[in-house]
Structure 1
Amino acid sequence: MFINQLPDDCLLIIFSSINELDDLLNCYKVCSKWSHLIAERTRKVKYLVEHTYWWNNGSSPNYPFDYVYYRTKEPMDGTCLSTLFPNLMIGEFSHGFHKKVKHEEIVSLVKNIKSCKGLIHQFYQGNESIFQYCDQLEMVSTDYIEPWIKKNGVNIKQLHLLGTLESFKEDAHYFPNLERLYIHDDGGQNCIYDGPIFRRLKIIELALSSLDDVDGVVGPDVYYGFNFIDYCPNLQSAHFKVDSDVTLVDESVKHKSLQDLVLHFDSGFDEWYQLKFGLISLFLKCPNLKHLAMRKCYPLENAHVKHLVGILPNLVLLDVRGSPKVTREAADYIQDYNKLHGRSIKFYFKDNHQKISSDWPQLSTEWGKISQGFDFMKHCFLKDFPSLSTFLIPCEDL
């Protein structure tokens, strides 16, 4: 029996296992029957993404049926894309995609997608903006906040940026309804944030450079990320990549809504006193912290862990993996502390690091640009900053 003699249902099952864009388009061109069936298969696709091995932790492509990916820069005929993907929710149009598909074909695709809620797209000088054709976007990942994004800013709930907190401050008033903000510093200048207040913001993820070098004059390296939470009164979760022991924290302003906090240290601090003042002030201003991670905090010792447990009355998870000076002594202390005070703090350090996966199976470490569910603990808490999801899809959109 020839493959084309198979019933349509069988062919659809076979086509549903094909996720690579080039393969789907090649099948689409075989004959009219296959064109119809491929269009039926791709009608269910919600996510078009670039597969890069560095992002996917070196893994081979393995996506569910509602994903289609591309990984080559080989040119292709993109005139049929708008026919194949009418129900796309999120599209990634990377530099590689612009090499594969002509700009006018990308524009045609975007114009015809009525269901598009998210774009992962860099700005390409010389090409007209595709954001002008997406006036209902709720999720944007870009390295430049161009005018069309600002115009649609009131609808945007998730913003994923390459830039600085200072540059974002200039455009912050365009995004009053943000619920999640990610900024990965591109090496620019940062400063104290004193812009608009974000009352809807629930999740922030900030990797800011503290380097202070203005006109060749080097000043003190200050990390300004902690200052930003004072402008997010309803913030629930935060992930900071910290590269300086000099931080600005206003302890007088309490932050009672923050429950999840990840501190990823990206510098070789040698002594606890270098970090103590800023961190203790941060913890005291957030009395309702439940889940705290202090990753790669090299100067952290057993005595410091004991202190932290005492000043965080609602703590239930403490993760200090990557802190070589913390030993079994701290774990034994927390076990005794739990019995004495009726607490149930789960503690993870270098000697029991593998237990966190079995104790908290609902927390994911899977790499992926798109995660299902607007849930920081599930999709962000166990991950390092480079592997954080670009978008978290709210349950009502699944």
Structure 2
Amino acid sequence: MLLNDLPDDCLWLIFDCFFDLEELIKLSQVCSKWSNLISIRFKRVKYLITKKPEDNIDYSKIWMTDPVNTLKHHNLRELLPNLRIVTVVDFLHRYQLKPRHFKKVITDNPKIKGLIGLRNECAVDLKNIEMISMNHMDDYRKVFQPDQLKQIYFGLLHVNKLPEYVEYFPNLKRLHTCLYGDERYNGPNLSKLKILEAVLSGWDGNEDNFDLLDFCPSLESALICCAPDDQHIDLLIKNYNLKDLVIEIPLVDYMNWSSIRKLLTKFPNLLHLAIRGSQDVADCHVEELVQLLLQIKLLDFRESNGITVKSADFLSKFCLKSNRSIKIYYDCENEPEDWPKYDTPQESIVYGFNFMKHCFYKSFSQLPFLIDDQINLLE
């Protein structure tokens, strides 16, 4: 039997094994039948990336091996009609696509909602963009309308610049940044922010901005890199919405149990807590934790060497007596297979606005560039 004599369902299965855009384009040029079948495959694509993803079974993603020539010779707006996020720079291979290469894909395309690798001097019409990942943008008022952006992934950002962005983009739902500067945050509330991922230690390591969380009244999930001290923890301000909290303590910093305990009293409804890099949290503190956090369901102490199997044994007995269910993960020689893996390779784009699924078990450096809150990818 010739390959072309196979039923359409079999050909679909074959084409579904390809995730390289250039390969699929070549296959679509074989005949009209293949072209029609591959066009259905292309309609499933939501995200255009520039390197092979870790998950090869995600039909919403497709990558380019030769972005410049592909964008030059093919109309991707027609080939990939349902694109939502476009990668315009490959951070790994350090090459940059110029505006003219992707202008036809993005300009006046209401379906494109996110860009990864946007450059400060970009001359493309960005009126439909809601999510960006970039190092910085000084002239954001020239290219974005007020309240346009809902998600920002920045590299470095001076703490004095953050109030300007917060005021201009009051609808931010997710912010990822590494704040620097020795001043403290002094600006408007991030009133709609749901996810915050931030390095909050000062430029010289002597200052932190952990109290930025006090300006996020709707915050539900946070991954914070810093070690705040007692003097910057305001117990009068509590957040009853925060459910997921990851604290990464940098190697150069130290955060004692007294500060950790004081901090956690600000978030009485926490469900999931991870403390990584702590030199002070130990088995003797777990009993105090479960009494302090009455809603807690998960404790992840991997990368904090003071927590051992003793804490797991205590929690097993405690849950039987108290009729509570609390999972605990810690560093051990033979980690059970059913435990979620810690710090798996970075995915540049993930979908579903789910911090626990995409961020909780990651280090700051492995967090995704953009989180698409659209769930139905096959519409």
TM-score interval, smaller chain: 0.7 to 0.9
Distance 1:266 1:100, change over 3 A: closer
The answer to whether residue 311 in structure 2 is matched with residue 330 in structure 1 is yes
* Correspondent of 1:380 among 359, 362, 367: 359
2:75 maps to which residue?
80
Distance 1:40 1:269, change over 3 A: closer
| Helix, strand or coil at the partner of 2:102 | helix
* Correspondent of 1:369 among 336, 348, 366: 348
Q: Distance in 2 between matches of 1:7 and 1:100?
A: 42
Q: How far apart are 1:28 and its partner, in Å?
A: 5.2
Unaligned runs of 5+ in 1: 213-219
User: Within 5 A, what are the aligned runs for 1:105-116?
Assistant: 105-111=101-107, 113-116=109-112
The answer to whether residue 133 in structure 2 is matched with residue 122 in structure 1 is no
User: Within 5 A, what are the aligned runs for 1:1-398?
Assistant: 13-27=13-27, 38-51=38-51, 59=54, 62-71=56-65, 75-76=69-70, 77-95=72-90, 103-111=99-107, 113-123=109-119, 125=121, 128-130=122-124, 132=125, 134-145=126-137, 146-147=139-140, 151-164=144-157, 166=159, 167-185=161-179, 188-212=180-204, 221-224=206-209, 226-242=210-226, 248-269=232-253, 274-351=255-332, 354-355=335-336, 358=338, 367-395=346-374, 397-398=376-377
Q: How far apart are 1:383 and its partner, in Å?
A: 1.6
Q: Distance in 1 between matches of 2:96 and 2:22?
A: 10
Distance 1:385 1:11, change over 3 A: same
Unaligned runs of 5+ in 2: none
Q: How far apart are 1:262 and its partner, in Å?
A: 0.7
Segment of structure 1 superposing worse, 340-349 or 193-202: 340-349
| Helix, strand or coil at the partner of 1:305 | helix
Superposition RMSD on alpha carbons, in Å? 3.4
Q: How far apart are 1:88 and its partner, in Å?
A: 0.8
Segment of structure 1 superposing worse, 166-175 or 67-76: 67-76
Percentage identity across paired residues of the two chains? 31
Q: Distance in 2 between matches of 1:299 and 1:268?
A: 14
Amino acid paired to 1:122:
L
Q: Distance in 1 between matches of 2:94 and 2:360?
A: 33
Q: Distance in 2 between matches of 1:164 and 1:246?
A: 25
Q: Distance in 2 between matches of 1:256 and 1:74?
A: 49
Amino acid paired to 2:363:
D
Distance 1:84 1:370, change over 3 A: same
1:217 maps to which residue?
none
* Kept in 1: contact 2:88–2:97 (CA 8 A): no
